[in-house]
Amino acid sequence: MHIIVDMITFLYSTAQFLLFFGIFYAILHYLKPDIKLFGQVVIGINVFAVWLYIAGIFNQSILWADASPKIFLHGIVAVIIYTILKLDNEK
């Protein structure tokens, strides 16, 4: 019985991901946003995620050992996107 519940949960998660991805792709296809604006939004989301993890550490709701890889990951993603946008502006 437990495996059936796990399968239903997995299928629900997959369906939810596909639905959100479809909505996101439809909005992107319909609006055709400027790639620089989209990149800046991605940078902003990653910086906000870093800020949330740091706030979680200070509020002692997440351990440093759990938050530090996530802070590093989101920081690196923000730097990479910023670098790509900067190189694109120089061309």
Looking at the fold, whether 41 and 56 belong to one and the same domain comes out as yes
Looking at the fold, whether 44 and 84 belong to one and the same domain comes out as yes
Looking at the fold, whether 12 and 56 belong to one and the same domain comes out as no
Q: State the residue for tokens 């351990």.
A: 63
What range does the domain containing 22 cover? 1-32
pTM attached to this predicted model: 0.64
Q: Burial-class residue 53 by CB neighbours within 10 Å (0-12, 13-18, 19+).
A: buried
Looking at the fold, whether 20 and 41 belong to one and the same domain comes out as no
Nearest-angstrom CA–CA distance, 8 and 5: 5
Nearest-angstrom CA–CA distance, 83 and 74: 14
Looking at the fold, whether 25 and 9 belong to one and the same domain comes out as yes
Nearest-angstrom CA–CA distance, 9 and 11: 5
Nearest-angstrom CA–CA distance, 38 and 22: 17
Number of folded domains in the chain?
2
Looking at the fold, whether 80 and 46 belong to one and the same domain comes out as yes
Mean pLDDT of the region 76-90: 88
pLDDT digits (tens, 9 = 90+) for 13-45: 888 888 988 888 887 777 776 778 788 888 999
Looking at the fold, whether 23 and 38 belong to one and the same domain comes out as no
